[in-house]
Amino acid sequence: MDQDMLRALHLLSQGEAQLDALIMELAGLIPGVANGLAWKAKIWEEQRNWRKGPSDPHDYQLAIAADWLRSAREGRLQAEMTNNGLSVTKLDSEALVPEDLEEILFKLLSALSGNWLMYSDLNAAVKRYLDLSLAQHKSVLVAVLEDLSAKRYLRADFTPNHGLRVCKGLRFDEWRDLMTKPASPSVINHSYTFHAKVGAVQTGAGSLANVNQGSSENSFADLKIALEALLQDVKSSDMPPSRRQEAADYIGKTIQEIDSEKPNKGFITALCSGLATTVQTLGSASEAYAAVVAAFAALGIPIG
């Protein structure tokens, strides 16, 4: 056996050992789902989604295993055993912004040559423009479609044969005028109703996402007092300066909305939901932390 063949076999053996080590750690991070052989088979199968074409000879197993392991360490990898074998899903690291989905829908419907925009085409566009999986953001999809359907900008339809599909609505021309006219400095109030539990919904600048969770005036008054105390804790905390300023601005916006003539309860609730992570960084030893936790609980917003 010549030296080139021996070197190739040695490299192959090294690659197999590295792959086995990655799979062992991966299985340890997601225990009780599948054994090493099932993970290895799934990684082998996943290569077809990585190859650039049928003639691509590259072996992507190590790259796939490393990518999944990185996602698992970040808590963004889901795995379950199904009738068809091991199923692995990478969760998106970012939220789907309703206004982004709205813009994509408008672009696709404007360029539509046929009668219907199919779900598969919409999903592909969201992946292409935002690198997000639409299947992981169904509550946002439903909320946006209901909002635009109510305005008759589009019509959404679902059938067993075609699945979800969308076409232009009666007032699509009004939507086109709205989307193509110069931006106005005034606030645009988008109201979305989510049919699934959502934490923080990231919306575009100047937009309001109303999450109906229900709360009393007294609860918001208590929340304001707690937030004012929390603001002082944030300013004197040892958080990084950029994070401290961001948290202070976030708290300030919430207090400002509570003090407005007609507070938007859904907007305040959405802000509070997004603030939960910041509150937790201060630690349970803070009295302000305990007060804010209680105020959040009164609004039906749990903090772990």
pLDDT in tens, 27-69: 899 988 899 999 999 999 998 888 888 888 888 888 899 988 8
Lowest-pLDDT range of 43-52, 61-70, 113-122, 289-298: 289-298
- Residue 161 CB neighbours (<10 A): 4
CA distance 300 to 166: 35
Dihedral, CA atoms, 181, 183, 184, 190, nearest 10 degrees?
90
- Span 76-111, pLDDT tens digits: 888 999 998 999 988 887 888 899 999 999 999 999
Q: Please say which residue of 52, 68, 90 terminates a domain.
A: 90
Cβ distance 197 to 302 under 8 Å? no
- Span 224-248, pLDDT tens digits: 888 888 888 877 777 777 777 777 7
* More confident of the two residues 82 and 75: 82
Q: The tokens of 260 are what?
A: 């407005």
Domain hosting residue 235, numbered range: 217-298
pLDDT at position 12, please? 57
Q: Please say which residue of 90, 107, 130 terminates a domain.
A: 90
**117-118 and 77-82: which strand pairing?**
unpaired
Share of the chain above pLDDT 70, in %: 72
- Span 11-31, pLDDT tens digits: 556 678 888 889 999 889 998
pLDDT at position 255, please? 83
Q: The tokens of 63 are what?
A: 């790259």
Q: Are residues 73 and 111 in the same domain?
A: no
> Is pLDDT above 90 for 252?
no
pLDDT at position 221, please? 79
pLDDT at position 235, please? 79
pLDDT at position 39, please? 93
pTM (2 d.p.): 0.45
* More confident of the two residues 206 and 146: 146
pLDDT at position 76, please? 82
* More confident of the two residues 300 and 238: 238
Q: Are residues 82 and 118 in the same domain?
A: no
* Overall domain count for the chain: 3
In a domain, 195, yes or no: no
Q: How confident is the model at residue 303 (pLDDT cuts 50, 70, 90)?
A: low
Cβ distance 34 to 78 under 8 Å? no
In a domain, 198, yes or no: no
In a domain, 61, yes or no: yes
Q: What is the CATH number of the domain that holds 136?
A: 1.10.10.10
* More confident of the two residues 113 and 190: 113
Q: Are residues 86 and 7 in the same domain?
A: yes
Q: Please say which residue of 41, 63, 90 terminates a domain.
A: 90
